[in-house]
Homo-oligomer: A and B are copies of this chain.
């Protein structure tokens, strides 16, 4: 599945690093995996925009509303460079997004916040989980794609706002802390469920993690370590919010 058919026609001189992914993109399965990945991230950002704009309605003050709307527009701002890159790869950006709509929409349906604070925790924890996951995958990509993915995942810079609001609310109402801790576990569980669904359905994307010509892959132990890292960072984020995980 991960053998490259195009090694003989490599356009990268022997001994040179494959910075632009020229060898990698000769493998149609690698190209398909990158198109999948960029499509998934792009739809994820559109979807994050929609949900944050929806959460903005729950904001208790106009200041809070503007803070959440600022996060929403920052997420949406990532979509244009992803669309451009998909076009450069000869892919239809919207067709590339289509296979991921069901999983991402289901994640959001199953984790619709019932109040402002659930929305804040979801924005912070959900965004963090997605970023960690894509960043892990980015390590197995050609440099150009990796740089694009990492730039897309730049913090939108509102962590301080969310941490401040959630910590203040928990201090004022300890039962809220218990409820939001459960909520954080539910977000993690639902994210894993949908990620597994995508992994089962998208062969090229799964094969990416197994490696290919000029690209290192992951064995089962390494995949286990990856999930341990993602879980640890989730726990750290929950702690930043003052929540047990």
Q: List residues of A whose CB falls within 8 A of some B CB.
A: 43, 46, 49-50, 53-54, 56-57, 61-63, 65-66, 69-70, 72-73, 76-77, 79, 94, 97-98, 101
Contact = CB atoms under 8 A, between A and B. Distances in A.
Contact of A46 (B43, B57, B69, B76): B69
A54 B69 CA distance: 13
A112 to B, nearest CB: 14
A57 B62 contact: no
A76 B73 contact: yes
Contact of A94 (B62, B72, B97): B62
A73 B54 CA distance: 14
A69 B57 contact: no
A58 to B, nearest CB: 12
Given A46-B62, A61-B94, 4 more contacts: A49-B53, A49-B73, A72-B73, A73-B76
Please state the number of chain copies in the assembly: 2
Contacts of A56: 50, 53
Contacts of A61: 94
A98 B97 CA distance: 40
A57 B108 CA distance: 14
Contacts of A43: 62
A53 B72 contact: yes
B73 A46 contact: no
Contacts of A72: 53, 73
Contacts of A97: 62
A76 B71 CA distance: 11
A219 to B, nearest CB: 37
